[in-house]
Structures are given as structure tokens and as C-alpha cells.
Structure 1
């Protein structure tokens, strides 16, 4: 890729195991992507699809942890998709980069090589800020990446349900205060839910929720002990630091 100097940064993830080029401003990968990757259960040989992949952070982090997956990174923004392609190449990770709107119909998915019932795992970090409470960014890419419409979550989960094989798993990260929306959207076609709340610190309400759901699953819902990003002294939680350094996974990755 060619780009004006200073428009992009190169950042280390997983303790330097993964290096990603990304825009200096606009949508940037961070803790959410790494937590999502650490919560995603996959095995070598699995077909894994990352919806709304951005520069590829979450999907590439999964591929760095589990060798031999067949990874597809789906992103609507051509510039971000180009960065994802470069990031996969520079990290020597095999990945198919697909420029596609996740809300597109089944025919568009098939044309892009993503037919129904073909994925073992889907992971996603959909746009989740409530437009009624979130001041939209003047940068269109940041707005697309972060601000949800009323139909965003349901349409993304519908696309995941269509793509997954029976018994395949969807893993997502969302606003904790929107958990009811997640459960409602998963009510059709998914079961065996596993839920992990994420708190900024022990004294504050959860800020994120990680959810794994199995297509056609029948097992009871499990709620795991909350993950604290910081401890009572506002110091970073060692467990989280280890996960961000690529030295561990979250319970959802061990179903």
C-alpha cells in the first residue's frame, strides 16, 4: 500500500507476536479486539470468519494463537480491508480478505465465497454505540465502525447464524448495558450461551460483555465470573495483561 507519511502507525499486539498497521485516527484496534480473540474457541482446520474485521486485529490474533485455521476477514471499508491484507501478509498469516457489508443478503455472501452453513466459528465486534447517546464522529470511517443503527446487532447475528454450521459458535463483544439486546437477537437459532462481563474496575458496573453462542445449542446458559481490567488500586489486572500479551485465553475459549 502507499499512503501519506504519518497517516498510519505500526502497533504491537500480543506482546509483539502481532504487529499491525492501522490509521493514526479513525477506527483503531485495541483491547476489545484482543479480548474478543482471546474468547474465541477454534481448532486447527476450522473455517473462521471475522465480521467487521477492520485492520484484521481480532481474526489475526486468533490465527496467531491457533495455527492452521482457515481465516476470512470481512470488512466493508476498502482502505481498512487493504490494511488487513497487508497485516496478514507482513505477519505471515494466511487469510482471505473480503470487502463486504455484513448486512448484505445471502446472495452477496455466496458471491464472496461465504455460503451458508460453511463456518465453524464467527467472531465479531459490531458497531455498538447508541446513536441517541453517542456524538457521531465527523470521520465517516470512525462513525461506521462505532455507531449502531437499530438493526445493526440483529442483522449481524442473522448473518452469522446463516453462515455457521450446526454446532458452530458465534463469539461477540458488545456494550454491557446492551446485554438484553444481545440475548433477544440470539433467541432465534442459538443456544448454549456463555457470558463473561468485563469491568473497568471492581467498583464500577460492567462496560463490556463477551458472549459465545452455539447454533442449535441446547445447553443451559453459563455466566462466568467477571473480568476486571484493573484492580482495586487502579493497577492493571495481571490476568488481563497476560491475555493481552498472548499468554492466556479467556474461559469462553475453553468450552
Structure 2
């Protein structure tokens, strides 16, 4: 059980979304909000957030797009309970499922996620390379950030299995791992849209936002990069609008 003193309540989307999260360990940040802003959905869609944590990305998407049928998938029971409470506190309808994303099809089906049943999946998998990243001694933070060599492939495989034909997967990953993303999406996905995200002008991208369509056949599109900060290190207005829930990131073709 999480002690009340171990919990903070934080505002996202300019105060439109308030989330309780653990004071230590992995904490929600810009990646989750950017992911939510880049995920296309419409009312009635079945949407699944893999590795949902306290629900940040999925709930931010639900705040922007009313009427989606949202499932938050999280392996950590304590984080899943926080996600469930956060959905209720923000009056957002969402199902919370305690499940390992790498589980087999039978486990997914037992939790109401059979093959070919979902319109959209969004995910922010653990993506730090353990060979180059010193993991946190906090086990939850380590699990949320550090990937094994199979993490991305396993998560993409799970998304491909539950997505309907023409359903879309949206993910955020570290930019220097783009080759891993392309390899993981090479089976069963197409119509890729890739958006580099730069922290500072003149510096290499730090993240990539990627949208892929199950069974898509359109050519891959490399979009103009998104610059987070001005030269003065102040967030750009378009980024402030995204973080405050006033704008979205368009990856789908018009």
C-alpha cells in the first residue's frame, strides 16, 4: 500500500488533468503528453495505452478526444491502482488492466483484449539501453526506463496482435534508436510517419514520435522536426500549446 506522504498531485494540460503519482520512481513528463498529443483517435474508438503508469498519456488523450473507449495496461499493481483512481478523479471513463505487455495472446484475451479488436494503441516503452545507461536503484524507475534487447519488438508485436486492420500504433522512442523502431515495425506495419523531436536548436533530435498503420502500404514520411525550446531555452509557443492541451501533433496524413 502506498502511503499518502509518498504521493504528489500534479497538474497537466494547463490544469485540465490532475494526476496523483508516486513521489519517487518514474514520474510523468513531457514524453507522455507529446505521445497523447500525437495519437489520433475519434469518439467510439477502442484505444489501449501500453505501460500506462499512472495513466498520463491515455488520460491526456481522453481529455482531448471525448468518447473513446480507453484501456490502461500496466504491469505494476500500485501504478495501476493510481491510474484507476486518476481516471475516476478526472471523471474519465477508463478500464485499468494489470497485465505484462509481453504476455501471450491468451492472457490478453482473458483481459478483454483479443486479437484484431482495437483501433489505436499508444505506448512509451522503456527505452534506455542498459549497456549505456546506468539504471536507477529504484526498481520501479529502472523498469520504466531501461529496456532489454527484446522490449520494443515484444511491445510492437503485442500492439500488432490486438490492432484491427488499418488500426494505428503511436509510440515515442529515443532518437538514436530509430533503427530499432524501423526494424520492429517492419513486420505487419506500414504507412509510417516519423517526427523527430529536438530539445534545442542545432542539436540532434532526442526523441522520435512514430505512427504506424497495421497493414499500411503508403510510403514512409519523415516530417519536419519539432523544436521544444527557443535558443533562450524557453519552450516554444507551439510546444507550450501542446503541453497545455491547446494543440495536437499531427502525424496522420490529411
Q: Verify the 8 A CA contact 2:47 2:120 in the aligned structure 1.
A: yes
Q: Name the counterpart of 2:128.
A: 129
Which position in structure 2 is the counterpart of 1:177?
A: 176
1:39-78 mapped onto 2 (5 Å cutoff): 39-78=38-77
Separation (CA, whole Å) in 2 of partners of 1:154 and 1:83: 27
The aligned runs of 1:158-237 (5 Å cut-off) are 158-237=157-236
Q: Does 1:105 align with 2:104?
A: yes
8 A Cα contact 1:71 1:96, kept in partner: yes
**What are the superposed Cα offsets for residues 105-159 of structure 1, whole Å, 9 maximum, x if unpaired?**
0000001111000000000000000000111111110011100000000000000
State whether residues 38 and 253 of structure 1, in contact with CA within 8 Å, keep that contact through their aligned partners in structure 2. Answer: no
Q: 1:137-185: CA deviations, max 9, x gaps?
A: 1111001110000000000000000000000000000000000000000
What CA RMSD, in Å, does the superposition of the two structures yield over aligned residues? Answer: 1.0
Query: Post-superposition shift, 1:3?
Result: 3.6
- Whether contact under 8 Å (1:171, 1:210) holds in the other structure is yes
Number of matched pairs: 254
| Partner deviation per Cα, 1:170-211 (whole Å, 9 max, x = no partner) | 000000000000000000000000000000011211000000
Q: Give CA deviations for 1:39-58 in whole Å, capped at 9, x if unaligned.
A: 00001000000000000000
Matched, 1:6 2:5: yes
Runs of 5+ unmatched residues, structure 1: none
Corresponding position of 1:22: 21
SS at match of 1:252: coil
Q: Cα distance, 1:5 vs. partner?
A: 3.3
Give 5+ residue unaligned stretches, structure 2: none
* TM-score for the superposition, normalised by structure 2: 0.98
> What residue number does 1:81 align with?
80
TM-superposed CA distance for 1:254, in Å, is 6.2
TM-score, with structure 1 as normaliser: 0.98
